[in-house]
Structure formats: C-alpha cells, structure tokens
C-alpha cells in the first residue's frame, strides 16, 4: 500500500527584515499594512520621523525568468504576502516623493448671456483679446450658442 506525503506549508515567519537606505532591522511580521508602517517608523526613527504614512511603501525582491525584480506590496495584499514570507526575508521600505501642488488653476466666471461674455472678452487684457481676435466671430457665436 502506498501512502502519499502531504506537503506542508512552512510555518509563518516569526521575524523578518526591513531595509531602508542600506540599513537593516529585524522586526516582527506586521498583521496589516498600517502596522507595517508603524514598525518601519519605529525601526528607522531617524529617517521616517515626520514622514506622512501615505508616503511609506514596501517591496520585495523576487527572481523571475532569471532576473531579479522589485515588486511592490499593496495595502490589500499585505496579509497574504506576510503568510508566505520566509524567516528573515527582506522587505524594502521606500519613501515616496512628496507631491507638491503649486497654485490652483485659475477660476472661471460663468457668463449669464452671450452679451456679457463678449463684454468680458473685450475688457480683458491685450494678450487674451489678441487671442480672441484669432477666432472668427461667426465661429465664436456658434460655440457660445
């Protein structure tokens, strides 16, 4: 009689490694993405203090088709990825660039009638009125109708 050996999954890792700027720290595996951010901030206080939590991201290095690639870990995949990590596996911590919004776009005034719009056009600065002079009047009237 033949018995089949059942393949068991390795036990979940009890410790993993976070790497930031070529520094590495052992941390317990986080149960959630938010907890991972908390652990990263604790492990790398000097580098991550004052950084908005939404700018912190994580990735793993994987070997696929003979090439090493960095694969980001999304918030929704965090717990699944953690359940498959080996002990001491390295997770890279990244700080995403801060998005800077310069000035808001200009506000536009709505015209209640075609006459009001035409008055506004004629009273505008020379540069914009020069632009309007390039648009045939008939075409403008069709567009504003």
Locate the domains of the chain by residue range.
Answer: 16-95, 114-144
CB within 8 Å of 114: residues ≥ 6 apart: 141, 144, 145
Which own/partner contact pairs does 5-10 have at CB distance under 8 Å and 24+ positions apart? 10/86
Helix (H) or strand (E) holding 23: strand 23-27
pLDDT above 80: residue 11: no
Weakest mean pLDDT among 18-32, 54-68, 108-122 = 108-122
Mean pLDDT of 88-103: 89
pLDDT above 70: residue 111: no
Average pLDDT, the chain: 81
Task: Look at the domain 16-95 and name its fold.
Answer: Ubiquitin-like (UB roll) (3.10.20)
pTM comes to 0.62
∠ Cα 16 17 19 (to 5°) = 155
Among 41, 16, 143, which Cα is nearest to 95's?
41
Phi, psi angle pair for 18, to nearest 5°: -100, 140
Q: Where are the beta strands (DSSP E) in 47-141?
A: 56-64, 67-72, 90-95
pLDDT above 80: residue 13: yes
Weakest mean pLDDT among 19-23, 35-39, 80-84, 127-131 = 127-131
Mean pLDDT of 24-34: 96
């Amino acid at each position: 009689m033949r018995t089949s050996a059942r393949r068991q999954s390795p036990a979940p890792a009890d410790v993993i490694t976070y790497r930031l700027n070529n520094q590495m720290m052992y941390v317990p595996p986080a149960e959630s993405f938010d907890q991972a951010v908390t652990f990263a901030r604790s492990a790398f206080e000097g580098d991550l203090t004052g950084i908005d939590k939404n700018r912190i991201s994580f990735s793993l290095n994987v070997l696929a088709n003979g090439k090493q690639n960095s694969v980001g870990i999304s918030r929704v995949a965090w717990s699944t990825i953690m359940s498959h990590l080996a002990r001491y596996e390295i997770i890279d911590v990244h700080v995403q660039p801060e998005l800077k919004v310069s000035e808001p776009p200009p506000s536009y005034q709505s015209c209640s009638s075609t006459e009001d719009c035409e008055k506004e056009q004629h009273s505008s600065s020379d540069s914009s009125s020069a632009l309007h002079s390039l648009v045939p009047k008939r075409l403008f009237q069709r567009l504003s109708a």
